[in-house]
């Protein structure tokens, strides 16, 4: 027999490991003999030489000792992942429910989180955000304090003169409403504002073209980028002429970036100089020294190193000092910081109690609860399924696994599921965000480049995985392998108690959301069904925003009636969708001199009452047959009640320096918020102070046919402006948009919460049916019917849902009663809402559980008992 080269054997004896040299040499000689027989002597020598080289101590690699592996070693981590994947693929339905439910919960939480982030970031794009404020006024009437952002012009002068060192800028502004902007054949109706020149610097307005100081020229205008593109296309707009309301020609001095959608100025499509406003409107010029005309907005920028609260306290008495005749109202000025404009916009008795902040809290809580439901599902299913792995734990312990390895295994599986759910949630959010934005009226996107978003998302995933994996990790890893493998191991009688508690929590949240959603929609519907005092159907308004409409109204009125598409036409200074004029100069016999006066004022033409369809309660309507109606007044019921008049018809009212007579009383017209009481309102004739044309369409024609006949009349007499009209029904419905949007979002989240709860119930019902398979088989053999078995498997869940309903009812009643108190005109909370919610939750539970219960009850008992 041939032998290997001696020099290789000598090399091995010199540099090999002396502790194993003899065994290694023997093994190599046997291998060499085998190689000679199989591959030939030449190749055997090569293999022998290569093996010797690998065994020399300078070159040999020490084999890792895997007998005891650290529980976080790469090998063990790979093993954990491998087993976790196998468990997920082996139990596909369980994995789908667990990952899907958690992903939906995470997606809802992300959507709500993005919504809340958007709300909290309003106006934060303004560099001086923290130093900008809005001077506002508290005034006390009959012991009730009202708060308004509308202030008199002289307040601006007083702040500059008396407290100049506290402010860097004091800026007057006034919304111009909708005005026509025209250049050549391009005409658009847009919203904008008249502002003093420093406004652009205060907001650090980003300019695309021109300069911020362009408004120093009284004949200039600044346009938003979108409006400039619409009017001029690719032409450079700077120094181009734009006509405003076909009346005033102004020069484009600059183009600024559109305000972001989460800005209080989002609708500000253009800016006009304040000097132009004063020159164009005589009433503004008269108001420059009048402390009683609270009709303007004021913005201030705090000086460096000043404290807003301290300055706010300093200016409190500024109006009271200058307006002595208004001391009875106890006017108190204060600064409302920009950071609170959006979130705290509604005041009650001088305190900011409402606004978007209530919805931020509401949705934040809902998002937290929906996420809690998903986590409860995850923990319930994880703990329920983990009990089936007792034998696995016993075997692994028997072959040498230590507890730390088992704990790591269960935590690894938990983290794997959570991160799968997190990835799926990101996908769901990306897919649903466009639809969600449409409902919420937002333009949000996932904050991919925001470290806080990732920190919260990943941090929450880690916490969820840790909490959900803690029960199986520490509970199962403590099993005694002898009991498990002998079959004497039994789960404790209280092992299912945590799951039952969590199911009760789920349905407490779900039932509360169901009740809340129903009451939100009832409140909206209650306000919608409120008697309006006029007929809004078939009524159209057109803003009189050009000189042509104002001068040609008499002939427009006549020709509109001649079209046959119109029943009545009238003019007024306000539409019936909102009254923005008020007066405090009225006086009457028997008025309490200590009681302040505050009336809404509507000036109109003779046919206004017939056009809007108001309801005369006492007296008569305005009539051309009575020339004295020029000094006649019609008042609403609230005004008569406010004045304390028992027999109002014929009563004399002093208004300023003139005397008027009450000729009629109409039922209250809901012109402002449909959720608030109607304010005292007075109507009088005035053909010069009118801003809107109100048209009652012929009900015999469709709206489209009627408008087609009306439009040529306006085109004929108002060629310089587009035919812009608004249906009063749409304007009225607009008042409910915020509440309806909240209602839709609440409904969506309630449905998702119920869906997540049902997923969890389905998984638990499946587990319980599987766990009691043999018991069901025995009962069937002994004569139990399908109905008996269905009741047996369903009663536990029904009991838990009833407990959840019992807890949810007082919580929902208390929280929603508090929410409804914010509305003076509100619905009541009926008992049937709670009953319907409870029955609905019970029905959903039975439908969810019944599938698994009936499936288990119909199973052939032979299959379940053949192993016994």
Q: In this structure, is residue 114 part of a structural domain? A: no
844-862 in b/e form (b: 16+ CB < 10 A) is bbbebbbebbbebbebebe
Does residue 11 share a domain with residue 40?
A: yes
Coil vs helix vs strand at 74: helix
Residues 714, 755 within the same domain? no
The answer to whether residue 89 is domain-embedded is no
Q: How far apart are CA 170 and CA 163, in angstroms?
A: 10
Is the same domain home to 259 and 225?
Answer: yes
Domain contains 69: no
**Which of the residues in the chain have pLDDT under 50?**
61-68, 71, 868
Contacts of 79 (CB under 8 A, 6+ apart): none
Residue 495 lies in a domain: yes
- HSE, CB side, 13 Å, CA atoms: give it for residue 512: 25
Q: Do both 711 and 765 map to the same domain?
A: no
Q: What is the domain count for the chain? A: 4
Do residues 383 and 503 both lie within one domain? yes
C-alpha dihedral over 798, 801, 806, 808, to 10 degrees?
Answer: -160
Q: How far is CA 90 from CA 93, 135, 471, 769, in A?
A: 9, 66, 21, 18
What was the pLDDT predicted at 759? Answer: 76
- Domain end: 715, 733, 751, which one? 733
Q: In the chain, what's the furthest Cα-to-Cα distance?
A: 142
CA distance 10 to 19: 16
CA distance 816 to 830: 12
Distance CA 541, CA 549 (A): 13
Q: What is the pLDDT of residue 203?
A: 93
H/E element, 193: strand 186-195
pLDDT value at residue 133: 95
Domain boundary among 17, 32, 55: 55
Examine the domain organization and report whether 236 and 301 are in the same domain.
yes
457 & 561 share domain: no
DSSP at 499: H
- The C-alpha atoms of residue 714 and residue 711 are separated, in whole angstroms, by 5
CA dihedral 858, 860, 861, 867 (to 10 degrees): -140
Residues in CB range of 363: below 8 A, 6 or more apart: 112, 115, 116, 745, 749
Place of tokens 């902040």: 357
Residues 684 and 592 occupy one common structural domain = yes
Using DSSP's 3-state secondary structure scheme, residue 298 falls into: strand
- Clarify whether residues 502 and 600 are in a common domain: no
Cβ atoms of residues 497 and 576 within 8 Å? no
- Quick one: pLDDT at residue 68? 45
- What range defines the domain where residue 155 resides? 132-341
Per-residue pLDDT, 66 = 45
Phi and psi angles of residue 68, each rounded to the nearest 5 degrees, phi first: -130, 110
Q: How far apart are the C-alpha atoms of 506 and 797, rounded to whole Å?
A: 12
Residues with Cβ within 8 Å of 730's Cβ and at least 6 positions away in sequence, in order, are none
Same domain, 548 and 651: yes
pTM: 0.76
83 located within any domain: no
Whether residue 222 lies inside any domain: the answer is yes
Q: Which of 311, 341, 371 is the last residue of a domain?
A: 341
For residue 85, being part of any structural domain is answered with no
4-12 LR contacts (CB < 8 Å, sep 24+): 4/28, 4/29, 4/32, 4/44, 4/45, 4/48, 5/45, 5/48, 5/49, 8/48, 8/49, 8/52, 9/52, 11/52, 11/56, 12/52, 12/55, 12/56
Distance of CA 485 to the CA centre of its chain: 55
- Assess if residue 852 is contained within a domain: yes
What is the distance between the alpha carbons of residues 200 and 272, in angstroms, rounded to a whole number? Answer: 11
Nearest to 373 by CA among 762, 757, 848, 808: 757
Shared domain check, 365 and 262:
no
Reduced to 3 states, what is the DSSP secondary structure of residue 634?
A: strand
- Are 629 and 778 part of one and the same domain? no
Contact by Cβ (8 Å): 770, 852: no
Two tokens, residue 563: 């079209």
């Amino acid at each position: 027999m041939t032998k290997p080269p001696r020099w290789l054997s000598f090399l091995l004896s010199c540099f090999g490991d002396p502790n194993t040299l003899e065994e290694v040499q023997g093994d190599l000689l046997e291998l060499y003999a085998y190689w000679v027989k199989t591959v030939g002597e030449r190749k055997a020598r090569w293999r022998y030489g290569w093996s010797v080289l690998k065994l020399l101590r300078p070159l040999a690699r020490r084999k890792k000792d895997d007998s005891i592996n650290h529980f976080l070693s790469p090998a063990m981590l790979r093993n954990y992942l491998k087993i976790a994947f196998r468990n997920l693929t082996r139990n596909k339905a369980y994995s789908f429910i667990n990952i899907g439910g958690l992903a939906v919960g995470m997606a809802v939480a992300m959507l709500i989180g993005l919504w809340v982030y958007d709300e909290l970031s309003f106006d934060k794009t303004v560099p001086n955000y923290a130093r900008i404020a809005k001077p506002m006024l508290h005034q006390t009437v009959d012991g009730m304090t009202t708060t308004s952002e509308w202030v008199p012009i002289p307040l601006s002068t007083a702040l500059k003169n008396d407290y100049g060192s506290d402010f860097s800028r004091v800026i007057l502004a006034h919304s111009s409403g909708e005005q026509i902007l025209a250049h050549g054949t391009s005409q658009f109706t847009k919203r904008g504002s008249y502002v003093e020149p420093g406004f652009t610097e205060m907001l650090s307005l980003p300019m695309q073209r021109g300069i911020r100081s362009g408004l120093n020229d009284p004949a200039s205008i600044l346009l938003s980028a979108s409006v400039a593109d619409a009017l001029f296309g690719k032409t450079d707009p700077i120094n181009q002429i734009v006509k405003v309301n076909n009346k005033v020609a102004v020069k484009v001095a600059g183009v600024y970036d559109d305000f972001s959608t989460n800005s209080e100025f989002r609708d500000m499509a253009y800016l006009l100089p304040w000097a132009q406003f004063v020159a164009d409107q005589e009433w503004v010029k008269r108001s420059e020294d009048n402390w009683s005309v609270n009709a303007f907005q004021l913005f201030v920028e705090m000086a460096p190193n000043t404290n807003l609260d301290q300055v706010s306290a300093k200016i409190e008495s500024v109006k009271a000092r200058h307006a002595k005749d208004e001391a009875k109202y106890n006017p108190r000025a204060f600064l409302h910081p920009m950071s609170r404009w959006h979130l705290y916009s509604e005041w009650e008795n001088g305190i900011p109690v409402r606004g978007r902040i209530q919805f931020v809290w509401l949705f934040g809580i809902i998002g937290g609860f929906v996420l809690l439901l998903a986590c409860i599902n995850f923990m319930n299913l994880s703990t329920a399924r983990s009990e089936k792995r007792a034998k696995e734990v016993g075997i692994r312990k028997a072959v040498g696994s230590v507890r730390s390895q088992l704990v790591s295994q269960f935590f690894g599986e938990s983290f794997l599921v959570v991160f799968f759910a997190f990835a799926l949630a990101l996908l769901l959010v990306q897919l649903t965000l466009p639809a969600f934005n449409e409902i919420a009226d937002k333009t949000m996107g996932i904050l991919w480049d925001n470290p806080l978003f990732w920190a919260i998302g990943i941090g929450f995933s880690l916490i969820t995985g840790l909490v959900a994996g803690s029960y199986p990790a520490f509970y199962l890893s403590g099993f005694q392998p002898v009991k498990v493998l002998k079959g004497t191991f039994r789960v404790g009688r209280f092992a299912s108690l945590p799951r039952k508690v969590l199911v009760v929590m789920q349905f407490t949240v779900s039932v509360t959301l169901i009740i809340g959603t129903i009451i939100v929609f009832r409140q909206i519907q209650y306000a919608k069904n409120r008697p309006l005092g006029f007929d809004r159907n078939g009524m159209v308004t057109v803003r009189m925003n050009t000189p042509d409409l104002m001068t040609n109204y008499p002939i427009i009125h006549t020709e509109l009636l001649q079209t046959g598409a119109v029943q009545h036409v009238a003019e007024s200074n306000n539409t019936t969708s909102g009254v923005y004029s008020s007066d405090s100069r009225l006086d009457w016999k028997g008025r309490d001199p200590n009681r302040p006066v505050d009336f809404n004022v509507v000036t109109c033409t003779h046919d206004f009452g017939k056009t809007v369809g108001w309801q005369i309660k006492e007296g008569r309507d305005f009539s051309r047959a009575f020339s004295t109606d020029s000094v006649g007044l019609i008042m609403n019921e609230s005004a008569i009640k406010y004045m304390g008049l028992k027999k109002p018809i014929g009563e004399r009212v002093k208004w300023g320096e003139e005397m008027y007579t009450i000729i009629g009383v109409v039922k209250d017209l809901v012109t402002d918020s449909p959720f608030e009481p109607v304010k005292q309102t007075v109507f009088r004739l005035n053909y010069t102070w009118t801003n809107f044309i109100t048209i009652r369409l012929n009900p015999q024609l469709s709206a489209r046919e009627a408008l087609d006949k009306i439009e040529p009349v306006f085109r004929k007499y108002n060629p310089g402006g587009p035919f812009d009209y608004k249906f009063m029904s749409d304007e009225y419905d607009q008042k409910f948009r915020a509440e309806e949007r909240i209602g839709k979002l609440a409904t969506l989240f309630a449905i998702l919460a119920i869906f997540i709860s049902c997923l969890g119930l389905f998984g638990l019902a499946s587990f319980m049916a599987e766990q009691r398979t043999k018991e069901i088989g025995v009962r069937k053999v002994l004569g139990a019917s399908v109905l008996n078995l269905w009741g047996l498997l369903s009663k536990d869940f029904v009991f838990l849902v009833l407990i959840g309903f019992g807890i949810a009812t007082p919580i929902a009643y208390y929280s929603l009663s508090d929410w409804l108190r914010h509305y003076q005109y509100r619905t009541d909370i009926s008992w049937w809402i709670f009953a319907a919610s409870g029955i609905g939750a019970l029905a959903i539970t039975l439908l969810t559980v019944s599938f698994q219960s009936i499936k288990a009850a119909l199973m052939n008992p032979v299959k379940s008992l053949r192993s016994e």
